[in-house]
Amino acid sequence: MRVIMHFYPRKSRLNDDGQLPIYVRFTVKSKRVDLSTGLFIQPKHWSEAKGRVKDRAPNAYTANERLDKLKTEIQDYYNQLRSSGEDFSVSTIKDYLLEVDNKTGVLEVFDYYLESMVAKTGGYSKETYKHYKSSRKRLATFIKDHYKKNDYPVQTIKFGFLDAFDIYLKRKYKVHQNTAWNYHKHLRRVLNLAISMEHISINPYKKYKVGLAPTQREILTSDELDRLEQKKIQIKRLDIVRDIFVFACYTGLSYSDIYKLNKSHLHKGIDKKDWIIIDRTKTSTRCRIPLLPKAKELLDKYSKYPTNENNGKLLPVLTNQKMNSYLKELGDICGINKDITMHIARHTFATSVTLANGVPIETVSKILGHTSLKTTQIYAKVLDQKISVDMDMLQTKLSEKKKAI
């Protein structure tokens, strides 16, 4: 299957200046369309044999260049349609050339989705909204580069479109499989909205599956955390950042939650001890965290800190970028050969501080503010230290059993 093109002057449309309009006829699957090129010519200046303006005619070079460009545009768009795997016809090319598209565009639906996110105050965090905006930008760039359009009809999105988007993300932006998965997750939800709006009946992601690659979440071991805690830090800014990181390791709070932490989040729990009760910035899920002695000690240390007293915060938290930059310095000072970031503290709490010390995963899940145990299981790395302890216990039991026999 191919597209056949032919240029000709339409003799039935002679204008008052004695010129004929030049038309292009293109045929796909035995169906043809005739469209005006917008060019006019004296009948004597047209070469029937070559299908173009005669070389010696006035403005021949400019006119023929425009015809060549139109021919290339039609051929390129035809090639894109074929490679996309989508159903198309000669009318699809015609609509593209005339910029006619009466169907709802996927970016139009995406914009509606973003507007609804803003309207649902408290339902989405600023970070989540920012991620969706980024996905919308990537999708728009893909449609512009791949289809030469400003939008793409949501009704015609099929397997080929989604696969081409996936390849585009990985080739152009060099994204990891799991990053691509997030872009697809956002688009999948937008297409679910398109179903609710009755633009489409079935989500094309039912046939197109995107997998998640296994990830290794970095943590600090108990020894590394002890080393970080015990290290004498002479530089004040690094000492403060170290304390905030350690506080996160003993509470499981994310950077954004520690940043907004204030006295209103401190409560007496059911056990009459100090607890932090806070709604997570990311999901608005309520977290109830009993304060471990180390975390309580750090809050007491900064209770009279000038900055905190002025803004009501419990800890003098810097920007996330600065915190992570200083944490890298701390890693070097403490001889920890890992890329330490604030989020590693959350992983460390889930593993080295709680799960490795026998805290049930259900309890850890509640403290972290997870709505699903599956989410917690991602954090639940079984540490070599824990395996060693468990195997020692098993060996002891086996030895005792043999002695009894």
Torsion of CA 306, 310, 316, 321, to 10 degrees: -130
Say if residues 80 and 146 touch (Cβ distance below 8 Å): yes
Whether residues 82 and 61 share a domain: the answer is yes
Domain's final residue, options 98, 128, 155: 98
Q: Provide the β-strand partners of residue 22.
A: 9
Looking at the fold, whether 236 and 347 belong to one and the same domain comes out as: yes
> 4-9: long-range contacts (C-beta < 8 A, 24 or more apart)?
4/28, 5/71, 5/74, 5/75, 6/51, 7/37, 7/51, 7/52, 7/67, 7/71, 8/51, 9/41, 9/43, 9/46
Q: 82: number of CA atoms within 13 Å, CB side?
A: 11
- Count up the domains in the chain and report the number: 3
Q: Are residues 367 and 240 in the same domain?
A: yes
Q: Which residue, among 341, 348, 347, has the nearest Cα to 327 in the 3D structure? A: 341
Per residue, the 3-state secondary structure of 141-181, as one string, reads HHHHHHHCCCCCEHHHCCHHHHHHHHHHHHHHCCCCHHHHH
Say which CATH number the domain at 367 has.
1.10.443.10
How large a percentage of the chain has pLDDT more than 90?
A: 59
Helix 177-196 to helix 159-172 angle (10° resolution) is: 150
Q: Which residue from 62, 61, 64, 38 is spatially nearest to 51, judged by alpha carbons? A: 64
- Containing domain of residue 60, as a range? 4-98
When comparing pLDDT for 370 and 241, which is higher? Answer: 241
pLDDT at 100 exceeding the cut of 60: no
Q: Are both 241 and 344 inside the same structural domain?
A: yes
111 and 55 together in one domain? no
User: CA-based angle 133:136:139, to the nearest 5?
Assistant: 155
Weakest-pLDDT range from 38-52, 290-304, 381-395? 381-395
**What mean pLDDT comes out for the span 30-44?**
90
Among residues 119, 79, 91, which one has the least CA distance to residue 34? 91
In a domain, 216, yes or no: no
pLDDT at 391 over 90: no
Q: How confident is the model at residue 380 (pLDDT cuts 50, 70, 90)?
A: low
Residue 299: name the closest of 262, 253, 346, 343 by CA.
Answer: 262
Express each pLDDT in 256-304 by its tens digit.
Answer: 999 999 999 999 988 999 999 999 887 788 899 999 999 999 999 998 8
Checking if the pLDDT of 123 tops 70, the result is: no
CATH number at residue 114: 1.10.150.130
The answer for residues whose C-beta is within 8 angstroms of residue 18's C-beta and 6 or more apart is 42, 43
Q: How far apart are CA 199 and CA 191, in angstroms?
A: 9
Give residue 242's pLDDT.
Answer: 96
Is 211 within the bounds of a domain?
no
Q: How would you class 300 by CB atoms within 10 Å of its CB: exposed for 0-12, middle for 13-18, buried for 19 or more? A: exposed
286 plus 176 within the same structural domain:
no
DSSP 8-class letter at 43: G
Which range is least confidently modeled, 81-95, 116-130, 201-215? 116-130
Q: Is residue 61 part of a domain?
A: yes
Find, among 257, 250, 264, the residue nearest to 281 by Cα: 257
Is 398 within a domain?
no
Q: Does a structural domain hold residue 150? A: yes
The answer, yes or no, to whether residue 308 has pLDDT greater than 80, is no
Copy the structure tokens of residue 380: 């639940």
Stronger pLDDT, 233 or 127, i.e. the higher one? 233
Asked which of 206, 232, 263 is the last residue of a domain, the reply is 206
Q: Are residues 93 and 182 in the same domain?
A: no
When comparing pLDDT for 137 and 146, which is higher? 137
Answer yes or no: is 67 within a domain: yes
- Considering the domain architecture, whether residues 353 and 375 belong to the same structural domain is answered as yes
Determine, yes or no, domain membership for 184. yes
| β-bridge mates for residue 267, sequence order | 275
- From residue 45, alpha-carbon distances to 22, 57, 66, 265 in Å are 12, 6, 16, 84
Boundary (domain end) residue, out of 49, 79, 98:
98
Q: Which residue has the higher pLDDT, 182 or 211?
A: 182
Question: What are the tens digits of pLDDT across the range 201-254?
Answer: 999 999 999 988 876 778 999 999 999 999 999 999 999 999 999 999 999 999
CA distance linking residue 290 with residue 270, whole number of Å: 10
pTM: 0.60
C-alpha Rg value of the chain to the nearest Å: 32
- Answer yes or no: do 257 and 379 share one domain: yes
**Residues 226 and 373 placed together within one structural domain of the fold:** yes
Same-domain status, 31 and 110: no
Q: Distance between CA atoms of 42 and 24, rounded to whole angstroms?
A: 17
Higher per-residue confidence, 240 vs 310:
240
Q: Is residue 213 part of a domain?
A: no
Q: CA 27, CA 19: separation in Å to the nearest integer?
A: 26
Q: What is the pLDDT of residue 119?
A: 80
> 138 with 271, same domain?
no
Q: Is the pLDDT of residue 121 over 80?
A: no
Provide the pLDDT confidence category of residue 88 given band limits of 50, 70 and 90: confident
